[in-house]
Amino acid sequence: MSISISGLAVSYGQADVIADLDLRIDEGNFFTLLGPSGCGKTTLLRTIAGFVPAARGRILFGDVDVTRLPAHKRDIGMVFQDYALFPDKTVFENVAYGLRARGERGAVLEGRVMKALERVDLGPFRSRKPAALSGGQRQRVALARALVIEPQVLLMDEPLSNLDARLRLQVRETIMELQREARITTVFVTHDQEESLSMSDRIGVMNKGRIEQIGSPKEIYATPATTFVADFVGAANRIPVTLGQGADATRPTVRFGDVVLRARCAGPVPNGEGVLVLRPEDLGMDDSPTTDGAASSLPGSVILRQYLGARTAYKVRLGDGSVLAVDLHGEDHDRFSAGQHVSVSVNPEKALVLAR
Amino acid sequence: MNRMIDVRSVWFWLSVAALVIMFVFIVYPIINIVTSSFSNGGGWSQILSEQRYGEAIANSLMLAAIVTVACTLVGVPLAYVTARFRFPGKSLIVFLPLITLVIPEVIAAQTWLMMLGNNGLITRFFREYGIILPSFYGWFGLVTSMTFIYYTYVYIGTVAAISGFDAHLEEAAQSLGSSPARARLKVMVPVIAPAILSGALLVFTMVIGNFAISIILGHQVQLLSVMTYRAAVSEGGVNPVMQSTLASVSILIVMVVLFINRWIVARGRYEVVQGRGAPPSALRGLEGVLIALAAGTVVLISMLPMISVILGAFTRARGPVMQWGTWTLENMERVFVTAPQPLVNSLVYAGLATCIGISFSTVVSYMIVKKRNLITPLLDYISVVPLALSGTVLGIGLIISFHTGWLPLTGTASIIVLAYVVRRLPFGMRNASSTLYNVPNSIEEASISLGSPPFRTFVRVVLPMMAPAIAAAAVLTWTTSVAELSASILVYSGGRETLPIQIFRLLDSALMAYASACGLTLIGVILLPIMIAIKVFRMDLFGVGKPRSES
Ligand SMILES: Nc1ncnc2c1ncn2[C@@H]1O[C@H](COP(=O)(O)OP(=O)(O)OP(=O)(O)O)[C@@H](O)[C@H]1O
Ligand SMILES: [Mg+2]
C-alpha cells in the first residue's frame, strides 16, 4: 500500500510543527524519516497513524483518503520506542490482541500468534509477562504484535534507541528481514544516520518540519541537496567558496586559497557564493607538500590523530587557519603523526558545491 | 481543529457531565454555606459579639495545637526507632497504621471511656486502692485519646522519609568531623522535616474537624465542631445561619492550613534526597529493652480500644451497668438477629458509595490525565475541595442544599451515600490519577493501532492496568465509608441508622455493652476486606493513597 501525503500541515496550537509537506512512499518500500531532535518526525509519523489530526492537507493509503479516518480503522502496525507492551498480559496475549480485535478466535488465532512468535524466536516465551523479558526480547514482541495483523502500513518510531549497541544491530537485522519478507510499506523514524543508511530503500531528511531531501541512501550521502543534509548525514568539511564564471554550470570552477578545481554542482548556485562539501574519506594525504602544478593539493599540518582500527581520523590545519577532517583507509593509514607537515589532496570528482 | 473544545468527542460531553455533577454536589453546597452565613442578618456579628463562639474557636485551635505537638513527640521518635533499629517485638509496630485505620473514632472514644471514664474499668481499679484519677472528660481525655489515634499520621510519613533518607549523607557529615549525633541532626532533620510538618498539619486539620471524640469526651470544653453540629441540629435546614457561619469558620481554618501545607511540600521537594536508607541495626542490652518497652507501650495503648471493645461486646450488662466478668452472647445477638437494620444499612450504603465513588473517580481521573480539554483542569481542582470540608461541614452543606427545592434528598438514603462519596472523592481520585500517570500514552496508542477503538482500549488495556490500584482504593473507600459518622449523623433520617450512628446513640444512653457489640461488628466489617486484600490478593494497601479513619 503506497502512502501519499500532500499539502500536509500539523500544529499543536498556534505555530505549525509541520507546514505544507508533500511525500510519496511507494508500495513495499522501507522509508526512513531522518532528522534532528524536534524536527517533527514523530509528529509526522503520528499524523500518518491518525493520532494527531492534520490541520490541512490529505493523506492517502493507496487510493483511499484516510485523513479523517480514526486511528483504529487505518489498519496500521505500530512499534514504539518504549515498546508499549501491555504489562498485565502475557507475550501470547500481547501478540494476540490485534487479532482478537479483528474477531479472530480459536485455533486460527493460536496458530497465527505462535507463527509470529516463532518468527522472532520467542515461541518458548509465550506465557511470560513483559516484565520478565529483556529489552531486545520486548522489542521483538512489539514487532511480532505489529506484524501479526498483517497491516497495510508499518510505522516505527525509533524502535532501536532503547537498546544497547549490539542488540541494536541484531534487532535491526530482524526488522529488515521481516519487512523484506512481508513487503509491508514501512515508515521508520530515527535520528541515527547509520541506521537510516543501512536499512532504507529511501530516506527523507527532515529539518524544522520540512523534508529537505528524499532519495536513496546513496543519493543522500553522495549528493546531498543542501548543506543541512550534507552535515546531518555523515561528516562533511564545508568550505565557503566563490564560483568562477565557468562555461559549464554543472562543473563550476571553484577557487579557495591556492586551489582551483572544477567541482560538481547539484543545482544552480546564486550569486556565485557557494559551499564546497568534502567528505573526510574522499580526501587524500601526502608527506611532502607538492607544489608542482597539482593545484588541488593543500599544504597544512596534522594537529590531531585518532587511530580507529580500520581507519585513522586526522585533523589538518591549513595555511589560512581553517581545519579539515581527513579519514585515511588502506595500508599504513596511521602513518602520519601529529605536528607533521602534510599536503591534503582533493579529488574534483568527489567535491560538491552547494548553495550557501 | 481545537482539541480543547472538541464538541464531537464523547469525552468532552462526559467531562461536562462530571463538571455539572461535581458542581452540584461539591461547589453548590459550599456556596450555600457561605451565602447562608450572610443571610438574615448573618451570623458573623454574633460570632464576634458572643463570647462562647470565640471561646470555642480558641479552644479548638488550642486543642489542635496541643494534639499536633503531642503526636509529633510520639510519632517521630517511634518512626526513627522502627526505621533504624531492630529490637524484640518490632513486628508488632509494623501493624500500627492498620490499628488506627480500622478503629473508627466513635469506638475509640467509647472504649477510652470504658477504661478511664467515671465508671471505667481502670478508674474503678484505682479507686479500690483509694487513688482518684482525674476525670477523663475534658482536656485530659481529648488530648490523650486524640494523640493516640492521630500520631500514626505523623508516624507513617516520617517512617517513609527516614527509610528513603540516604545514609551516606550522614556518613559524609561524620567524615567531615561531626559527631554521630550532631551529624544526624544536621543532615537528617532538614530532609525529613517536610514529611513531619505535612503529617503534623494533617493532624491539625483532623482535630479541628473532629466530631466523634470531641462530642463524646468534650463535656464542658466548648469546641467549634461540636458547636457547629449542635447549631445544625437545632436550626435544621430552614434558617441555617449559625451553622453556616461556624462551618465557614472551619473551612477558613482548614484552608489556611492546607495552604501552608502546600507551601511546605513545594519547598520540601528540593530537599528530598532519594537514596538507600541505612539498614536497621540491632539493639541489644538495656537500651534495646527500654526502647522495646517504650514502643510496646505505645502499641499497647493504641490497642486498648480493640481489647476493650472485645471485652465489652461479650460482657453482660443491665442497662448502663456493666457486669464485668460475666460473659454473654446477647449483645452480639442483638446486632445480628434482633436489630440487624443498622448493620444492613451500613453494608448497603458503604457498598453503594464504594461502587459509585470508585467508578466516578476512575473515569474522571482518566479524563484529567489522558483526555485533557478545557474542562478537565476544573475537575482536578474541584476534586480536592472536599479535603477542606470536615464531615460536619459537608453534612450541613448537603442539608441546606438538598432539604427542599429542586432536588429534595433529605430523608432518603441517597444523601447518606452522597456524603460518603464526596468525603472520599479526593482519595479515590489521587489514587486513580497516580496510577494513570504511570500508564504511558504509547500503551493506549499501541492498542488503538492494533484496531481497538478508544473505548474498547480503555476497557481492555487501561482498566486492567489500573485494577490493582482501583481495588486498593475500593478497600480503603469501603473501610472509611463504613466508619463515617460526622456527616451521616447530620443527614440520616429515622430507620436509616448506620452502625456508627447506632453506636453514637447508644453511647448517649450509656449502653456500653450493646455499643461494644456494634463496635466489634463494625471492626469486623472493616477488617474483613482488608485481610482478604492483603492475604489473598497481596495488595499493598498502605502504600497507596492516604488512609484516614476519622468518622
Ligand atoms: N503534544 C505536543 N504539544 C505541543 N508541542 C509539541 C507536542 N509534541 C511535540 N511538540 C513540538 O513539536 C515539535 C516536533 O516534535 P516531534 O516530537 O515530532 O519531534 P521529533 O522529530 O520526533 O524529535 P525527537 O527526535 O526528539 O523525537 C517539537 O518542537 C515539539 O516541541
Ligand atoms: Mg520523536
pLDDT tens-digit readout, B322-348? 888 889 999 999 999 999 999 999 999
Residue with cell 463524646: B216
Minimal-distance CA residue of chain B relative to A151: B450
Is pLDDT of A261 > 50?
yes
pLDDT at A8 over 90: yes
Q: What was the pLDDT predicted at B168?
A: 67
The grid cell for A116 is 509470529
Q: Of residues B180 and A40, which shows the higher confidence score?
A: A40
Q: Which amino acid makes up residue B18?
A: A
* List of domains in chain B: 61-217+250-311 (1.10.3720.10), 314-551 (1.10.3720.10)
A186 pocket-lining for ligand 1 (C-beta < 6 Å): no
Nearest to B470 by CA among B392, B354, B340, B388: B354
Find the mean pLDDT for residues A157-186: 90
The SS3 assignment for A72 reads: helix
Element at A330 (helix H, strand E): none
**B540 and B98 Cβ atoms separated by less than 8 Å:** no
Q: Find the mean pLDDT for residues A3-14.
A: 90
pLDDT at B550: 36
What's the first-to-final CA gap in chain B, in angstroms?
49
Of the listed ranges A58-67, B55-64, B167-176, the least confidently predicted one is B167-176
Q: Do A49 and B449 touch (CB under 8 A)?
A: yes
Atom 27 of ligand 1: nearest residue by CA position: A37
Of the ligands numbered here, which is closest to the C-alpha atom of A53? 1
Greater pLDDT, B212 or A263: B212
**First-last CA distance in chain A:** 38
Partner residue opposite A82 with nearest CB, options B3, B440, B447 = B440
pLDDT digits (tens, 9 = 90+) for A150-170: 999 999 999 998 888 888 888
Q: With an 8 Å Cβ cutoff, are B442 and A75 in contact?
A: no
Going by alpha carbons, the residue nearest to atom 30 of ligand 1 is: A38
Of how many residues is chain B composed? Answer: 551
Chain B residues in contact with A84 by the CB 8 A cut-off are 440, 442-443, 445-446
Q: How far is CA A148 from CA A72, A341, B450, in A?
A: 16, 61, 10
Enumerate the residues of chain A whose CB falls inside 8 A of the CB of residue B471.
none
pLDDT single digits (tens) A37-46: 999 999 999 9
Closest ligand, as measured to the CA of A38:
1
Ligand 1 pocket test, candidate residues A8, A16, A41, A210, most atoms within 8 A of CB? A41
Confidence of residue B544 (pLDDT cuts 50, 70, 90): very low
Residue A289: what pLDDT? Answer: 60
Q: Convert the pLDDT of each residue in B3-41 to its tens digit.
A: 566 777 788 899 999 999 999 999 999 999 999 888 877
Q: How many CB atoms lie within 10 A of CB B459?
A: 12
What pLDDT is stored for residue B546 in this prediction? 37
Q: At A334, which helix (H) or strand (E)? A: none
Q: What's the mean pLDDT in B96-109?
A: 77
Nearest CA to ligand 1 atom 17: A42
Q: Give the nearest ligand 1 atom to A45 CA.
A: 18
- Ligand closest to Cα of A191 equals 1
**Which chain B residues touch A89 with a CB distance below 8 Å?**
464
3-state SS assignment for residue B541: coil
Over its C-alpha atoms, chain B yields an Rg (Å, rounded) of 25
Task: State whether the beta carbon of A41 lies less than 6 angstroms from ligand 1.
Answer: yes
Q: What is residue A247's predicted lDDT score, i.e. its pLDDT?
A: 59
How high is the pLDDT of residue A113? 96
The residue of chain A with its CA nearest to that of B453 is: A72
Number of other residues whose CB lies within 10 A of the CB of residue B536: 8
- Per the DSSP assignment, residues forming a β-bridge with A299 are A343
A84, A88, A101 ranked by CB distance to B442: nearest = A84
Residue A30 phi/psi, 5-degree rounding, is -100, 105
Mutate to test the interface with B, among A80, A99, A150 (most CBs of B within 10 A): A80
Mean pLDDT along residues A66-77:
92
Note the pLDDT of residue B548.
35
The answer to whether B484 and B427 have CB atoms below 8 angstroms apart is no
Alpha carbon distance B59, A173 (integer Å): 75
A43 lines ligand 1 (CB under 6 A): yes
Look over chain A and give the mean of its residue pLDDT values, rounded to a whole number: 88
Report the pLDDT value the prediction gives residue B449, as an integer from 0 to 100: 94
Which ligand 1 atom lies nearest to the CA of residue A158?
27
Q: What angle do CA A250, A252, A254 make, to 5 degrees?
A: 145
Predicted TM-score of the model (pTM): 0.81
pLDDT at B166: 65
Nearest residue to B103 via CA among B364, B392, B303? B303
- Report the percent of chain B where pLDDT is more than 90: 41
pLDDT attached to residue A321: 83
Of all ligands present, the nearest one to the C-alpha of A37 is 1
What is the band of B516 on the pLDDT scale with cuts at 50, 70, 90? Answer: very high
Higher pLDDT, B93 or A15: A15
Query: Cβ(A156) to ligand 1 under 6 A?
Result: no
pLDDT digits (tens, 9 = 90+) for B374-384: 899 999 999 98
Residue B545: which pLDDT band, with cuts at 50, 70 and 90?
very low
- CA dihedral of B487, B492, B497, B500, whole degrees rounded to 10: 10
Contacts of A49 in chain B (CB under 8 A): 445, 449
Residue B543 pLDDT grade (very low, low, confident, very high; cuts 50, 70, 90): very low
Pairing between β-strand A253-256 and β-strand A237-243 as defined by DSSP bridges: antiparallel
Which chain A residue has the Cα nearest residue B443? Answer: A84
- Asked if A61 contacts A49 with a C-beta cutoff of 8 angstroms, the reply is no
pLDDT for B62-93, tens place per residue? 999 999 999 999 999 888 888 888 877 777 77
Cβ atoms B393, B246 nearer than 8 A: no
Q: CA-nearest residue of chain A to B454?
A: A72
- Tell me what percent of the residues of chain B surpass a pLDDT of 70: 89
> What pLDDT sits at residue B118?
82
Residue nearest to atom 29 of ligand 1 (CA): A38
- Please state the ipTM of this predicted complex: 0.84
CB under 8 Å to B315, separation ≥6 — which residues?
Answer: B322, B323, B324, B325, B326, B327, B328, B331, B513, B516
Chain-chain contact of B451 with A146 (C-beta, under 8 angstroms): no
Kindly compute the dihedral angle of the four CA atoms of residues B546, B398, B354, B211, in this order, to the nearest 10 degrees: 50
Across the interface, which of B3, B457, B465 has its CB nearest the CB of A87? Answer: B465
**CA gap B117, B136 in Å, rounded:** 6
d(CA B416, CA B502): 14
Q: To the nearest whole angstrom, how far is the Cα of B343 from the nearest Cα of chain A?
A: 37
Supply the DSSP symbol for A287.
S
If you search the block for the grid coordinates 498539619, which residue do you land on? B201
Three-class SS state of A156: strand
Q: Between the CA of residue B204 and those of A85, B60, B166, B174, what are the distances in Å?
A: 45, 10, 29, 36
> Best mutation site among A11, A16, A18, A43 for ligand 1, i.e. most ligand atoms within 8 A of its Cβ?
A43
The residues, ordered by sequence, that sit 6+ positions from B127 with a Cβ below 8 Å of its Cβ are B133
- The dihedral sign for the CA sequence A309, A311, A313, A314: positive
Where does A78-208 have alpha helices with state H? 91-101, 106-119, 135-147, 165-182, 193-199
Q: How far apart are CA A227 and CA A210, in angstroms?
A: 15
- Å from A213 to nearest chain B CA? 29
- Rounded to whole angstroms, what are the CA distances from A87 to A133, A138, A161, B420? 11, 11, 20, 33
DSSP string, B464-513: HHHHHHHHHHHHHHHHHHHT--TTHHHH--TT---HHHHHHHHHHTT-HH
Three-state DSSP state, A155: strand
Question: B448: nearest CA in chain A?
Answer: A72
Which of A14, A16, A56, A72 should we substitute to test contact with B (largest number of B Cβ atoms within 10 Å)?
Answer: A72
pLDDT in the model for residue A161: 87
Residues contacting B84, CB < 8 A, separation 6+: B162, B278, B280, B281
> Number of CB pairs < 8 Å for A and B?
75
β-bridge pairing A76-79 and A64-65: unpaired
> What does the pLDDT average to over A189-202?
92
